Amino acid sequence: MEELIESLDNLIMIVKELEGRESTSRHFITIWENDYKNLLLVKEYLTDYEKLAKDYRYMTLKNKLLKIEKMELEG
């Protein structure tokens, strides 16, 4: 997941650099602006997904520990 986010960061930088060139036509700038916005949305989605996955793993571990504690108290 981190590699994918890093790749998106690289693509975002490339699009921003291409956008800054004076020799670029307005048509391509519009396309790159749309690509840039889409890349940012995908990156945001992946970052949020990664955070949720970490939170889920933490909660699963915590739930297992609580079940063990409950079994110890009952047994």
The confidence score (pLDDT) of residue 9 equals 85
Digit-coded pLDDT (tens) for 12-70? 888 777 777 777 677 777 787 788 888 888 989 999 999 999 999 999 999 999 999 99
- Number of helices (H), then strands (E), in the chain: 2, 0
Per the model's pLDDT, the better-predicted residue between 7 and 54 turns out to be: 54
CA distances, 64 to each of 21, 43, 57, 68, 70 (Å): 55, 32, 11, 6, 10
Cα–Cα nearest to 19, from 47, 46, 39? 39
User: What is the identity of the amino acid at 56?
Assistant: Y
24: DSSP letter: S
Compute the distance between CA of residue 16 and CA of residue 73 in angstroms, rounded to an integer: 59
